[in-house]
Amino acid sequence: MAMGKAFDIGLGQLAGCCVPASEAALGEASGESTYLRDVQVRPQPRMAAPQKAAQTFYLETFGCQMNEHDSEKVAGVLLARGYKQVEAVEGADVILYNTCSIREKAAQKVFSRLGEYRYAKKEGQVIGVLGCVAQQEGEEIFRRAPWVSLVCGSASYRKLPQLIAELEAGNRRVTGLDTDTDETFETEITRRDNPWRAYLTIIEGCDKACSYCVVPFTRGPERSRTSESILAEVRHLAEAGYTEVQLLGQTVNSYADPSTRRMRFSDLLVVVAEVPGIRRVRFTTSHPRDFGKDIVEAIEAVPGVCEHVHLPVQSGSTKVLNAMARTYTRKEYLEKVTLLRAAKREISITTDVIVGFPGETEQDFEETLSLMDAVQYDGAFCFKYSPRPNTPSLKMDDAIPEEEKSRRLGVLLERQREIQRARNERLVGKTFEVLVEGKSRRENQWSGHASSNKVMNFTSKREESLGDYVRVKVTAATPNSLIGEVAAE
């Protein structure tokens, strides 16, 4: 297994933040499939045609849901300027890569993509690098790939219209690399990729400074949108027919309403769920330090707030958590889990884990395994530690050899697979409401997600409609998904 790969054992692409949807999930590697991978999704209505002869753009996204949503907003900015989005890179006037640098492998991928244009770039074509690699490497990108014309980090996206205007005016190289901003990236138009679930960023950046993580450098300081602006967008989404919204932030529950309403995150969950037309509200990623009882109470009280919390633990050893600067101990983390397990609704819990952090002993690793046993996660994204530029952990002693990281990762994945198998098998015979999101090529086979975010592949002889909510009875389970049939009315 390649270094830096994300291993998702659990709830598929929709669970964790900064999980590369394009990299192999354990379910695929083991030959199990989720039908969501061969779905036919209802096509999105496209924006009105531009008035002048349209310039075309191609936009490829690497990395997490926040990047995917940033790309939706970037596409909105370009469409509003009269550009037309194309699915193939060949012949596009503007080629943009929205990049991820959370692990080394992800960052390398971008430079290999850029290398393809060394000789192939056409006269007048614009090649741009957006996102975390842009922020991290800055103008160095022009040195390594002189054919690039635009470098813009995510903290500067609000400047994009201006940067694009400069390119249109004939400037050869433009950059947006600020991080000292207190603004968020809000646009009039966002071109959303999914017709039922809409992503919505409520807090950008991160102030937590975990010792292994590049996000505080690449996405800048934490800044929240006002509750009014969030609610206005949710109402607009409901009017446009979206029934599920997913509130996004690197530490979504650290949300701090900058308006005079000073709405708490848990109150925001409730008011968003109450917007007429909205049936489900998800949120990711929660930081354990800021996770309190009020969030559990919101889930208990309001059926529209989904019964799923993604609560990255990173390690089960307090010693390693300290070295990671995670700001909680194993005991404190487990207290948050106790709150979740005591809820009146069953809440599914997923996590992120890093193995092979500098100085992680065999005993520390055993503590991570015992924590997995204690919590019984419904899904986990497991990573080998990847040293990143500028991060404090880069200078730490006792690096763990690659083979040992791989061994620990294998053990962890196997343990988690068994936990998931058992957790999913418990659900056989139960009935859940599922948002119908995909139709398999196989006859009468459909797929979607339950409120818990579990993937449900189900049979229905009725002509279901994509986007409907149906009751599905679980008939069988695998570690990565549930199998069922539409329940009799």
**Chain-centroid distance, C-alpha 102:** 12
Q: What is the DSSP letter of 63?
A: S
Please tell me the distance from the alpha carbon of residue 147 to that of residue 484, in angstroms, as a whole number.
Answer: 52
Calculate the alpha carbon distances from 92 to 50, 88, 170, 354 in Å: 16, 7, 18, 39
Nearest to 286, CA basis, from 331, 323, 247: 247
**Smallest distance, ligand SAM to C-beta of residue 117, A:** 28
Token pair recorded at residue 392: 């404090």
Helices (H) and strands (E) in the chain, counts: 14, 20
Token pair recorded at residue 57: 């753009």
For the beta sheet containing 379-384, the strands, ordered from the edge strand earlier in sequence to the opposite edge, are 7-9, 379-384, 348-355, 308-310
> Which range of residues in 220-228, 293-301, 379-387, 401-409 is near ligand SAM by CB under 6 A?
379-387
473 counts as binding ligand SF4 under rule CB under 6 A? no
Binders of ligand SF4: how many residues, by CB under 6 A? Answer: 10
Nearest to 20, CA basis, from 104, 138, 140, 116: 104
Task: Pick one of ligand SAM, ligand SF4, none as the site partner of residue 216 (Cβ within 5 to 8 A by kind).
Answer: ligand SF4
Our CB check for ligand SF4 shows the closer of 307 and 352 to be 352
385 counts as binding ligand SAM under rule CB under 6 A? yes
Position among 27, 176, 216, 379 found at the interface with ligand SF4 (CB under 6 A): 216
> Which range of residues in 160-168, 184-192, 212-220, 224-232 is near ligand SAM by CB under 6 A?
212-220
Across-strand partners of 458?
Answer: 446, 484
Nearest to 219, CA basis, from 397, 428, 63: 63
Task: Pick one of ligand SF4, ligand SAM, none as the site partner of residue 284 (Cβ within 5 to 8 A by kind).
Answer: none
Across-strand partners of 280?
Answer: 244
455 counts as binding ligand SAM under rule CB under 6 A? no
- For ligand SAM, the binding residues in 351-370 under the rule CB under 6 A are 352, 354
**Smallest distance, ligand SF4 to C-beta of residue 142, A:** 27
Binders of ligand SAM: how many residues, by CB under 6 A? Answer: 19
Please tell me the distance from the alpha carbon of residue 129 to that of residue 255, in angstroms, as a whole number.
Answer: 29
Contact (Cβ atoms closer than 8 angstroms) between residue 202 and residue 258: no
Nearest to 288, CA basis, from 247, 241, 325: 325
Position among 18, 126, 400, 474 found at the interface with ligand SAM (CB under 6 A): 18
**Smallest distance, ligand SAM to C-beta of residue 71, A:** 16
285 counts as binding ligand SAM under rule CB under 6 A? yes
The dihedral formed by the CA atoms of 33, 426, 15 and 410, expressed in degrees to the nearest 10: -70
103 counts as binding ligand SAM under rule CB under 6 A? yes
Position among 251, 286, 350, 386 found at the interface with ligand SF4 (CB under 6 A): 251
What is the per-residue binding string for ligand SAM in 220-259, x denoting contact by CB under 6 A? ------------------------------xx--------
Half-sphere exposure in the Cβ direction for 122 (13 Å, CA): 8
Task: Pick one of ligand SF4, ligand SAM, none as the site partner of residue 386 (Cβ within 5 to 8 A by kind).
Answer: ligand SAM
215 counts as binding ligand SF4 under rule CB under 6 A? yes
Our CB check for ligand SAM shows the closer of 14 and 270 to be 14
312 counts as binding ligand SAM under rule CB under 6 A? yes
Give residues in contact with ligand SF4 (CB under 6 A). 206, 208-210, 213, 215-216, 250-251, 287
